[in-house]
Amino acid sequence: MTASAVYERLKARCGEGVVSVDLDAKDPWILVAPGALVDVCLQARDDAELRCEALSNLTGVDYKTQGWIEVVYHLYSYTHRHYVILKVRTPRDAAEVPSVEGVWKAANWLEREVYDLLGVTFTGHSDLRRLLMPEDWIGYPLRKDFVEPEEYHGISTRRESLLR
C-alpha cells in the first residue's frame, strides 16, 4: 500500500487526528495530532488493509529552532509487507505524548529511551524511568541545548581519546 493510500485510509477513519502527509520525503510520513495518536495507532494495527503488527522503531528528534520535539514511529506490516511512518510533534518546554505501550509492547523500552535522552513524557506508560542514564543525571543528552557536565560524581566525562 502506498503512503498516499495509507494516509487517505487513516484520514477517513480518524479525521482531524491525522493532520497531514509528506509524500515528497525520501520516506513519506504522516503527521498525527498527539491526542489522536493512540487511536491512529490502533487503526494502523487493527485495520485489515493496514495491519501494522509491529512497531519496529520509535525515536525522537529535537527541533530546537522550531520549538518542538518530534516523536517518530516506524510501523511495519508483516502481513502486507509495507511500512508506515507516523510523527507527532510536542512542544519542547512541555514534551508530552500518550504512550502506545498498550498497542505494541515494544514501545515500553523505546519510549523509555526517548524519555531518557530527550525528556519526552509518555503519559500512561507503565514504568517511565531512565533507561540509559543514571537516575540522578541532570538533563537530556540528545537535546540540542544540552551541555555535558565536566564530571559526574567526581568522575571526568571527558573523552581523552577523542581530543587527540
Asked if 71 and 79 count as a contact pair (C-beta separation under 8 A), the reply is: no
Taking residue 82's Cβ as centre, other Cβ atoms within 10 Å add up to: 18
Whole-number average pLDDT of the chain: 94
As a whole number, mean pLDDT of residues 38-50 equals 98
Backbone angles phi, psi at 71, to 5 degrees: -105, 130
Which residue segments constitute the domains of the chain, with CATH numbers given?
3-163 (3.30.460.80)
Residue 162 scores a pLDDT above 80? no
pLDDT tens sequence across 141-153: 999 998 888 877 8
